Structure formats: structure tokens, C-alpha cells
Structure 1
Amino acid sequence: MAYTTAVARRELLDAIAVAIDAIADALASLGLAYEQLDDAHADDLEELLFRPVQRAYGRAKRTHAQFAERHELPGREFATPNPRAPSIGVKGLIESAVEAVGRAENELVALQDSLMPIEVGDAQLRAGLSEVRELIGGLSGRARLCADVRTLKRTDRSSRRR
């Protein structure tokens, strides 16, 4: 029984890691989008999208590390992803971030539906996963507020002549 619990816990950590990697992809895209906007629109993007995703990323990594430590399992270092080319523009970068967050959310939903967090997880893990989902939930709606095409076309630094 202990062997299967240990294996299941490793699988649980692997699934969380997939979600963390997707959130990291979103952060990279949002970081590039931020750099291409004027200050006012960059501040909006930071408040509505970047900060919640950044907090979700930190919380997910902390949840992963603490669960691994509590159950004496190996942790994992998460590499910074290579962001997409900025040539896709702000709108494309935001869409890429929304898609990446969607992948993360789907992974967490599937994980929670599998009941693994209940069967081999613990209360702290479940609370951490819930917080991550809360932070990234509704991101596509918030992205629509940032991705007003007319606004982005006027403020996208990559579309300005130098």
C-alpha cells in the first residue's frame, strides 16, 4: 500500500508540474506584452492579468514544493520558459497567455476530478490548488478588458514607426 501511495503522490506532483509549466508560459507571454505597451496600458495589463498569474505561479510552486517536502518526495526546479516571439503583437501574446492558463486550468480540473488530491493529497495541497484555480479563473474575461483591439493597435510599441 505504501508503494502505491508514493507512486500516486509522484503522479500528483507531476500533474501539478504540468500546470505550473503552463502558468510559466503565460507569465512569459504577459511579460513580453507588458514591454510593448505604453505605461497606462501596461499598468492595466499588470493589474488585470500579470499579477494574478504571477501569484498563481508562486502559489502553485509553493504548493508543489511543500507537498513534496511533507511527504519526503523529490522536489523540482521550474525553468523559465522561452517566450514566443514578440512579433505576434500584444493581442497575440495575450491570447497565448490565455491559452496557456487554460491548459493549466484544464490540468488542475482533471487532477481534482481524479480525486487524487483527496486520496493521496492533504488539506494544504487541496487549499493550494483551490487558490491557484481561483487566481487564474476568469482570466479570459479579464484579458478581453486588456485586449481591446483598437486600444492595443494605438499603443502597441511594435506597431509604431521608430
Structure 2
Amino acid sequence: MLELRNVTKAVGAAEHISDVSLTLQHGSLNVLLGPTLSGKTSLMRLMAGLDVPTSGSIWFDGQNVTGVPVQKRKIAMVYQQFINYPAMTVYENIASPLRVAGIEQARIDSQVREAAALLKLTPYLDRTPLSLSGGQQQRTALARAIVKNASLVLLD
């Protein structure tokens, strides 16, 4: 369960998020709706640990994770403008979070191939992202999130 408790995020004098409290349950699908610049991405960046709230706290499975960096959270985030490493192959892009986590190569290979098959990327594993269509690039970013086996996946 993810809880935001009275979270505020200010940048300079501008308040981007104001006193937000919400609870997201395990196994649920939640949607943030709002117009452009209403703070949806800012809120997800706080949930992911990419940003720290100015005030309030963020709790994950009963632990206060406010200020805990993204690397130490079991969270994956995929942006609308998907981000892939252009110099790496699709295989290496998908494998990158597993390598950072110190997973053994045989398990990396298995998980990358499983995610690639799920998202119909197997024929493209040796290509670089810039040689792919937009949809294939987006599926590569999704596969990278899937292999992390995250407790929370945020799709912006």
C-alpha cells in the first residue's frame, strides 16, 4: 500500500502540489486525471522517489519512505515520452535495472527474454532504440519496468 499524507511540493514560491493525501491499495489500478500542468507527473515523481516533498510524508507498506531515493524503492516508472538508452541495444536497455541490482547473468537473460516475448520484442533485441518504431520504443521502456519486478509501476 502506498500512502501520501498531507504532501506538498513547492518549487521556489510556486506550489506545485498542495496538501495531497491518498491511499493506493496493492493490486489496484488507479488513474490520476487532470488537465495539463495540474501536477499529475509531479505527484508520480514524489511517489517514485525522484523528488522529495516540501512537507508531508510518503509511506510504502507501512514504512516512511519520504526522502528514500528511487534506487532503494521497488518502484518502476515509465514516462509518456519513453526514455531508453540510445547507445544500448533493446536487450541491454531491458537488462539495465537487473545489472544495477547485481542479478546473475543467467537470470538476467531469462527475465529479459521473457519480458521481450511478452511484449513482442524478441526480433528486436539486437537493435538500438533509435532504429525502432515509437511503439517498439515504448514497449522496450515497459519491458524494463516489468523485469524490475516492482511492487508499484507508475505509467505517465
Structure 2-normalised TM-score?
0.22
Which structure ranks higher in relative contact order (CA pairs < 8 Å, sequence separation ≥ 6)?
1
Structure 1-normalised TM-score?
0.21
Higher helix share: 1
Higher strand share: 2
